[in-house]
Amino acid sequence: MIFYSLTIWDLALLVLRLCFVVPVVIHVLLTKRDVGASIGWIGVTVLMPLTGGILYLMFGINRVHRRARRMAGQHPWRSRTMSSQWRCDEKGAFAPLGSMVGKLTGRPLLGGNAIEPMHDGDTVYPRMLDAINAAQRSVLLCSYIFRADSIGRQFCDALIAAHGRGVQVRVLVDGVGSGYFNCGVARILRRAGVPVGQFMHSMLPWRMPFINMRDHKKILVTDGLTGFMGGLNIGEENIAASRPTHLVSDTHFQLTGPVVHQLSEAFARDWAFTVGEELTAEIYFPPQPSCGETPGRIVTAGPDMDLEKIEYTMLQAFTMARHSIRLMTPYFLPDDRFLTELELASLRGIEVDIVVPAHSNHTLLDWARAANLPRFLDSGCRIWMARPPFNHSKLMVVDRHWSFVGSSNLDVRSLRLNFEINLETYDAALAGSLDAFIASHRHIRLTHHDLDRRPFVRKLRDAAARLMLPYL
């Protein structure tokens, strides 16, 4: 028999390994909800204690959620958005959905709104610029991508002019989407004295993991009374008249009425989180008149106190469907939970139509999507490819009555890691209009034959790309 004796160096190394492994294991067991992620982090740390421990310290701890918990309930403007005189209760078949989303979000469903869908930058940008130019008291603008190109400079000029005439202007851009190392619009606006925040932006090494968490929201509110939200970023690629190399179509919405309070609240939360300034003045939350008849509510989601709320809303809507579910999204890489609920809806006889672009602006996502579609086809879902130009709209309609629109894509990144904002509405006329818009982009129906006839090399490539689904 061979006996091994531990030297003092062996013991020291063992103790050092345990110092890295034990804290990670304890933290994973107490905080992680996903079993697969938990096993992965523990395995990596046990096999590579030093490297695994450092990686977990950087990427595995959700510091955003911890910070949000400390800030929860501290916002003085929340009582204004919760005590609106325009509260309403959804009646009929969708009443359980309205009740559930109210409990999930903590926001009331508000009546008295006018919500107008608009398509493409050629139509939307002039309306947004007119609203900024007409603002007398406040302008709140948030955009994931805000380019310093010709259209971006038009927005900068309008914001600077508003600031110059005494309007309280606040601009929030994503720390990655609008330029991590060089954010042109932030530089232009700061030189003019306009307050600008860069969400989750830092050059400090221990803050680098936050680049994986992005503020994907698109919000504009002027004078607290007129709001814009949807999927449209700010850049020349969204304007057909500028003849960009890769034209992007999109859908945006103009909001008036009490629900604008909730839009302002969503901005104020992110602004306080990023800059530390509370926007409490009445210029941001003025009394809201009734402007229409559409009940609406804002739903936000992100890896903080709003974790997975947009996805939960969608899943509940799937269970409420009795006739049809229409989805339009630029990127379609949902997780198994989302996939299963859509499959079950289709299997019980619901017409499920999913419209995606034939080619998006992210080739890797298209590859991964192709490997993810057979299960949808197996259950009877209909997959449609929309011809160019690339459409970036994010729309969902159930039974031509309930609509869910905004910034959220149907992929794991958007539903789990990004900070997103959507709007739910209970309005048959609006839902019918959006349903028809989705139907108008059902250009090419995808079949099993289309997927099966892919060359073996392409199938292998697509299956490999699908393994990166949680990170795309």
What's the CATH code of the domain at 367?
Answer: 3.30.870.10
- What pLDDT is stored for residue 81 in this prediction? 57
Tell which residue, 217, 252, 250, 184, has the closest CA to residue 389.
250
Same domain, 431 and 357: yes
Same domain, 283 and 315: no
Same domain, 123 and 235: yes
Within a domain: 303: no
Same domain, 424 and 317: yes
- What pLDDT is stored for residue 66 in this prediction? 47
- What pLDDT is stored for residue 71 in this prediction? 46
Same domain, 290 and 316: no
Beta-carbon contacts of 451 under 8 Å, excluding residues fewer than 6 positions away, are 370, 373, 374, 377
Same domain, 172 and 134: yes
Within a domain: 1: no
Same domain, 259 and 365: no
Within a domain: 73: no
Residues of the chain with pLDDT below 50 are 1-2, 66, 68-73, 206, 208-209
Phi-psi region of 446 (alpha: psi -120 to 50; beta: other; left: phi over 0): beta
Copy the structure tokens of residue 260.
Answer: 């604008």
- What pLDDT is stored for residue 413 in this prediction? 80
Q: What is the total count of domains within the chain?
A: 3
pTM: 0.86
How, if at all, do strands 390-391 and 248-249 pair? parallel
- Domain ranges, residue 180: 86-91+109-295
Q: What is the DSSP letter of 234?
A: B
- What pLDDT is stored for residue 314 in this prediction? 96
Same domain, 249 and 116: yes
Note the pLDDT tens digit of each residue in 120-165.
999 999 999 999 999 999 999 999 999 999 999 999 999 999 999 9
Within a domain: 454: yes
Same domain, 137 and 181: yes
What whole-number distance in Å separates Cα of residue 107 and Cα of residue 260? 12
